[in-house]
Structures are given as structure tokens and as C-alpha cells.
Copies of this chain bind each other. A is one copy, B any other.
Amino acid sequence: MVVNRIEQKCIQKGLRMTEQRKVIAQVLSSSHDHPDAEKLYRRSNAINNSISLATIYRTLKLFSNNGILEKHEFKDGKSRYETVYKDHHDHLIDIETGKVIEFQDEEIEKLQEKIANKLGYNIINHRLEIYAVKKNK
């Protein structure tokens, strides 16, 4: 199996590459949506059924802590994950389908900096999510 992008990052970070992590890395690399733990479990388990849900959670946390994944908590109860090899972006969530659209807007970023600054704060992180429905239906 060709070493995928996420596995590369793991090696680079010095993480021990177990069979399970390789599979999870592979699944994440080929997932272009924003899957939750359960979905990742099902996808991974289909490849290697010796992968438990506990390991999925432990691995997701490990990858997040190492900046390999980003964890999002949209308003649907469960956390969802996304690989980070893109530039920073925010999310628009289609509340009818659950589909996530990524967008970025430099102006909004700058405005946030300005606001925090005015309030006497330095931004560590932010979350901007737009919940919306398709037009013209």
C-alpha cells in the first residue's frame, strides 16, 4: 500500500504506526467529507475488522493533538473530523442535508482580529459556522 498523506504526517511527527492507525489514516486521506467517529469506525472496520471504536476515538484525539486533524462540533450532536492540509476556512452547513461547504474570506478574518483587539484580547481560535438552506427551491 502506498503511504498516504496522513501517514506521512504521522511518521514525520514520530508517531508509532500501528496497523490500526495506518487504516484510519488511509480512510481519512480518502474521505473528502466531514465524517463523525461512527462513520470513520464503519469505514475503517470495513477494511480491517480488528479496529474498535475506542481506538477510533483515541486515534482521532491523537491526530487532532498533533495538528493532523481538525475536530468540529457542529450543531448536530456529534463531532466531525477533517484533515488539515488546506488553508484555514470556515463552514456553511446545509441544515437540510448535513452537507458542509467550506469557504474562506480574508475580510472576515481581519474583522475578527479587529474586534478581539478592541476588546483587549488576542484570538487563539475561532469558529464561524453558517447554517443555511439552498435558495430557489
Decide if A122 touches B108 in the complex (CB within 8 Å).
no
Contact residues of A: prevailing secondary structure? strand
- Knowing A73-B75, A75-B73, A128-B126, the reply to whether A134 touches B108 (Cβ < 8 A) is no
Decide if A132 touches B128 in the complex (CB within 8 Å).
no
How far does the Cβ of A128 sit from chain B's closest Cβ, in whole Å? 5
Give A132 to B125 CA distance when docked, in angstroms: 7
Chain A interface residue bracket vs B: 20 to 34
9 tightest Cβ-Cβ pairs between the two chains A and B: A121-B132, A125-B131, A127-B129, A126-B130, A128-B128, A123-B132, A124-B131, A116-B132, A108-B111
How far does the Cβ of A113 sit from chain B's closest Cβ, in whole Å? 9
